[in-house]
Amino acid sequence: MGPLKRRKVEQALLAKGFEREETDHSVFVYCTTRGLRTLVKTRTSHGRGGDDIPVPILSAMRKQLRIEDDEFRRLVECPLKRDEYERILLSRGHIDET
């Protein structure tokens, strides 16, 4: 996978149930379909809307989101839907059902 546009990644995160918090960076925290905040989070730097996120940063984001390379690509490209992402997190013990 090559670099990706920051805006595309951020839009995909918001569509998958992440909430944005603005600090010195944009922090994205995953909230379950039941509205519970989790410890799954990542961040992007502020910058121009078309800025590319380099591969090493994308790799770090993927690890923070607790998914594999192919799942991250699917999350950004949108075939990976929110409920499927949540099932992945549940099955791997990264979030609770409660």
Residue 20: the pLDDT is: 97
pLDDT tens profile 46-87: 766 568 999 999 999 999 999 999 999 999 999 999 999 999
* Residue 33 phi, psi dihedral angles, 5° rounding: -65, -15
Tell whether the model's pLDDT for residue 23 goes beyond 60: yes
Alpha helices in the chain (DSSP H): 6-15, 55-64, 69-77, 82-91
Tokens coding 89: 């997190």
User: Closest Cα to residue 6, out of 60, 55, 51, 59?
Assistant: 51
DSSP classification of residue 97: -
- Compute the distance between CA of residue 36 and CA of residue 33 in angstroms, rounded to an integer: 7
What are the residue boundaries of the structural domains of the chain, listed by start? 4-91
What band does 1 get if pLDDT is binned at 50, 70 and 90? confident
pTM of the model: 0.90
Rounded Cα–Cα distance for residues 57 and 1 (Å): 12
Does the pLDDT at position 45 exceed 90?
A: no
pLDDT tens, position by position, 3-14: 999 999 999 999
